[in-house]
């Protein structure tokens, strides 16, 4: 990779990780990712924003050979996919100082074994001059760690946002058209940002006040038109849920599958949108994306030793951890001789405080009375979804 110009003073540096398929040993990367760093050259000083994953340090170092000497390095976020190459950069430029938020200083020293005297902290709204360019530091705590911040290049109205507005997308395109980036950006929000949606709403107000002309995130393409992604975040994080029911399910001997099929058809008949996921083969990122918009979640589970199936336990834990904005929840499924699956799921979801609608659990194969109960549950959901817009 080589540096790529964004303006006459701003260059993209970084690495495209075409082949990576798992992030943090947890998050699937079906389209790879990128690690974006940026250089801004002022008339008096040159700054590097973030670095790259330590597996690709040499890619960044070769690019720095083509840039002026670095005077300042800004660490927006401590996670190693951004900060992991900072030690190599500071070794290369022994006079350079590392700028970060006050909360990040100790974390960077702990994670990277940095010398304390190399690190300078900046407060929210503080500015640093590069000569003919001015950096304004914008603290964005819990987007998605407590120490995160962004930097606004005032003269060019460019926001370097780090993970905020990012997308896991390996592409040769420097700039992202919204039609291409929308789904990767939504997936990124769902998997990484959604647990912090209430603080994200407050930080979006800061972004709106800046009125950036361009957003340069740390993953994925640059936004030459920031409006679509800002508006999307406002909807994902703070908007009303949509007329959508998410149905994650698994079936061991066919009974639960019969119930799910009947229930989904009943919802469709009533004009309710449905996202259905079979949990033994599901891409959890797709499930997370569906949870962004859903007003209701209905889990379909057989019973395993009185409790829900382990795959349903995982889906319930995922929903609880991601903290989506759904309002209603229920359980449908089956059992052989007894079940406490409903109680277990209700307890697992209690932190989200949804209204639990009447569950439908059948013994063995579902019969006419069970299908009638599923119809009533569909009626309840359709009634509660009145007034909600479609996704």
- pLDDT, tens only, 291-336: 999 999 999 999 999 999 999 999 999 999 999 999 999 999 999 9
168, 29 contact by CB (below 8 A): yes
What was the pLDDT predicted at 30? 94
Distance CA 121, CA 179 (A): 38
Q: At what angle do helices 227-238 and 197-210 cross, to 10 degrees?
A: 150
pLDDT digits (tens, 9 = 90+) for 282-291: 999 999 999 9
Under 8 Å between Cβ of 32 and 168: yes
Segment 362-372, tens digit of pLDDT: 999 999 999 99
Find tokens 């002022």 and name the residue.
42
pLDDT average, residue stretch 119-129? 98
337-359: per-residue pLDDT in tens?
Answer: 999 999 999 999 999 999 999 99
State pLDDT tens for residues 2-29.
999 999 999 999 999 999 998 888 888 9
The pLDDT of residue 1 is 81
164 vs 161: CA distance, rounded Å: 5
Distances (CA, A) of 179 to 175, 194, 214, 223, 228: 12, 21, 17, 12, 10
pLDDT average, residue stretch 225-229: 98
The pLDDT value recorded for residue 200 is 97
CATH number, domain 4-238, options 3.60.15.10, 3.40.50.2300, 3.30.390.30, 3.40.50.300: 3.60.15.10
Provide the residue ranges of all domains of the chain, joining segments of one domain with +.
Answer: 4-238, 245-382
- Report the pLDDT averaged over residues 187-203: 97
Strands (E), 76-202: 97-100, 119-121, 127-129, 134-139, 149-153, 158-162
Nearest to 42 by CA among 166, 128, 130, 113: 130
CATH 3.40.1010.20 holds for 245-382: no
- Report the pLDDT value the prediction gives residue 23, as an integer from 0 to 100: 86
- What is the percentage of the chain residues whose pLDDT exceeds 70? 100
Predicted confidence at residue 354, as pLDDT, reads 97
Paired sense of beta strands 4-5 and 10-17, if any: antiparallel
**Mean pLDDT (whole number) for 199-216:** 98
The beta-strand segments (E) located in 80-181 are 97-100, 119-121, 127-129, 134-139, 149-153, 158-162
Nearest to 8 by CA among 45, 41, 48: 41
What's the whole-model pTM score? 0.95
State yes or no: pLDDT of 391 exceeds 90.
no
**Confidence label for 230 from pLDDT (cuts 50, 70 and 90):** very high
Question: Residues 296-316, buried b or exposed e (16+ Cβ, 10 A)?
Answer: bbbbbbbbbeebbbebbbebb
Model confidence pLDDT, tens digit, residues 137-182: 999 999 999 999 999 999 999 999 999 999 999 999 999 999 999 9
> What pLDDT score does 346 carry?
95
Q: What pLDDT, on a 0 to 100 scale, did the predictor assign at position 158?
A: 98
Specify the pLDDT at position 288: 97
């Amino acid at each position: 990779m080589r540096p790529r110009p964004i303006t006459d003073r701003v260059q993209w540096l970084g690495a495209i990780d075409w082949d990576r398929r798992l992030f943090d040993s947890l998050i699937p990367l079906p389209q790879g990712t990128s690690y974006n760093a940026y250089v801004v050259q002022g008339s008096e000083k040159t700054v590097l924003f973030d670095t790259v994953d330590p597996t690709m340090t040499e890619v960044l170092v070769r690019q720095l050979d083509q840039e002026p000497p670095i005077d300042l390095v800004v660490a927006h976020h401590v996670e190693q996919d951004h900060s992991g190459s900072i030690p190599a950069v500071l070794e290369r430029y022994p006079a350079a100082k590392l700028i970060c938020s006050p909360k990040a200083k100790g974390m960077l020293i702990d994670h990277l074994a940095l010398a304390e005297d190399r690190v300078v902290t900046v407060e929210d709204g503080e500015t640093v001059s590069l000569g003919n360019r001015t950096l304004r530091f914008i603290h964005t705590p819990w987007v998605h760690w407590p120490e995160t911040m962004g930097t606004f290049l005032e003269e060019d109205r460019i926001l370097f946002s780090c993970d905020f507005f990012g997308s896991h997308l390996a592409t040769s395109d420097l700039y992202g058209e919204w039609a291409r980036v929308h789904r990767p950006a939504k997936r990124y929000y769902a998997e990484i940002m959604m647990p912090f949606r209430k603080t994200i709403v407050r930080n979006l107000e800061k972004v709106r006040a800046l009125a950036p002309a361009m957003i340069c995130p740390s993953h994925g393409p640059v936004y030459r038109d920031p409006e679509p992604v800002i508006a999307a975040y406002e909807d994902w994080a703070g908007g009303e849920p949509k007329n959508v029911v998410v149905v994650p399910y698994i079936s061991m001997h066919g009974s639960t599958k019969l119930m799910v099929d009947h229930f989904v058809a009943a919802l469709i008949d009533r004009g309710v949108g449905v996202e259905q996921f079979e949990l033994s083969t599901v891409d959890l990122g797709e499930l997370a994306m569906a949870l962004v918009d859903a007003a209701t979640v209905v889990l379909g589970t057989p019973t395993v030793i009185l409790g829900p199936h382990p795959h349903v336990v995982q889906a319930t834990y995922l929903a609880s951890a991601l903290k989506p904005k759904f309002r209603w929840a229920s359980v449908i499924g089956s059992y052989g001789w007894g079940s406490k699956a409903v109680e277990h799921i209700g307890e697992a979801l209690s932190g989200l405080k949804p209204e639990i609608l009447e569950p439908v659990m059948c013994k063995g194969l579902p019969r006419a009375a069970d299908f009638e109960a599923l119809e009533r549950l569909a009626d309840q959901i359709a009634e509660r979804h009145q007034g909600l817009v479609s996704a």
